[in-house]
C-alpha cells in the first residue's frame, strides 16, 4: 500500500495566509448579534496568528462616523495601523488586494461585521480575484440573525470556506506537541 501525502488545497497554510478583521468598530458593534462572542473569538484569532507569526490586517469603515476599532481589539492590534475605507468591500480599500498578492498571500481568514455587507462583499471579491476566503462563522455578525444566516448561505454557495476560530488555529498549527501547540491550546480554552 502506498503512502498518500497529498493534502487538500483548501487547508490553510501559514506561508500563504493572512488574517483580515473587518470593521469591528465601537459605534456599530453595540447593535450586533453576539458582540461579546465576536470580540472574544477575534482576540483568539489575533493572539493565535501572532503566535504563528502570520500577517494581520484590520479595516475601519468611515471611522469619523462609526468610531475606531473596539478597544479590546486595539490592545491586541498594537503596532498595526487600520486600513481606512469608505467602500463596503475591502477591494475598495486602496491597493489592499495588491498588498496581499505582493506578500504571497492567497488565503485570507476573515472576521468582522457586518456579515451580509462588508464581510460578504469582501469575501466575494477576494474569490473573484483568485484568493481563497475563509470566513470565521463565530467571529462575524450582523444586526439581524436572518441577515447573518443568509450571508453564510450565500458565501458558502459561492465557494467561500465557512469555518470556526478553533478549526482555523489548529489547521494553521498543523501538528501537536510543539510550543506553538501549547500556546494555541491555551488561547482556545
pLDDT at 110 over 70: yes
| Range 14-188 has CATH code 3.40.225.10 | no
pLDDT score at 1? 58
pTM exceeding 0.85: yes
Q: Is 161 helix (H, G, I), strand (E, B) or coil?
A: strand
Q: Is 79 exposed, middle or buried (0-12, 13-18, 19+ CB in 10 A)?
A: exposed
Read off the pLDDT of residues 54-65 as tens digits, 9 standing for 90 and up. Answer: 999 999 998 888
Residue 183's alpha-carbon distances to 82, 150, 153, 162, in angstroms, are 26, 35, 33, 24
Share of the chain above pLDDT 90, in %: 84
The pLDDT mean for the chain works out to 94
* Residue closest to 60 by CA, chosen among 70, 47, 50: 70
Q: Phi and psi (nearest 5°) for 48?
A: -65, -45
The confidence band for 89, taking pLDDT boundaries of 50, 70 and 90, is: very high
* Per-residue pLDDT tens digits for 133-181: 999 999 999 999 999 999 999 999 999 999 999 999 999 998 888 899 9
Q: Domain spans of the chain?
A: 14-188
CA angle, 5 then 11 then 16, to 5°: 105
Strand positions, DSSP E, the chain:
17-22, 56-61, 83-85, 107-113, 132-141, 161-163
Q: What confidence score (pLDDT) does residue 47 get?
A: 97
Amino acid at each position: 500500500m502506498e503512502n498518500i501525502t497529498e493534502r487538500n488545497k483548501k487547508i490553510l497554510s501559514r506561508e500563504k495566509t493572512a488574517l483580515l478583521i473587518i470593521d469591528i468598530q465601537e459605534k456599530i458593534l453595540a447593535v450586533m448579534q453576539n458582540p461579546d462572542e465576536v470580540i472574544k473569538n477575534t482576540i483568539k484569532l489575533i493572539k493565535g496568528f501572532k503566535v504563528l507569526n502570520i500577517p494581520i490586517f484590520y479595516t475601519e469603515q468611515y471611522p469619523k462616523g462609526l468610531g475606531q476599532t473596539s478597544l479590546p481589539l486595539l490592545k491586541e492590534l498594537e503596532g498595526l495601523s487600520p486600513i481606512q475605507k469608505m467602500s463596503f468591500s475591502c477591494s475598495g480599500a486602496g491597493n489592499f488586494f495588491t498588498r496581499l498578492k505582493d506578500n504571497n498571500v492567497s488565503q485570507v481568514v476573515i472576521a468582522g461585521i457586518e456579515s451580509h455587507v462588508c464581510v460578504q462583499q469582501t469575501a466575494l471579491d477576494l474569490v473573484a480575484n483568485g484568493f481563497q476566503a475563509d470566513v470565521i462563522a463565530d467571529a462575524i455578525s450582523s444586526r439581524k440573525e436572518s441577515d447573518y444566516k443568509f450571508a453564510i448561505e450565500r458565501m458558502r454557495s459561492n465557494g467561500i470556506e465557512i469555518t470556526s476560530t478553533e478549526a482555523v488555529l489548529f489547521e494553521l498549527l498543523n501538528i501537536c506537541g510543539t510550543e506553538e501547540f501549547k500556546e494555541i491550546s491555551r488561547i482556545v480554552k
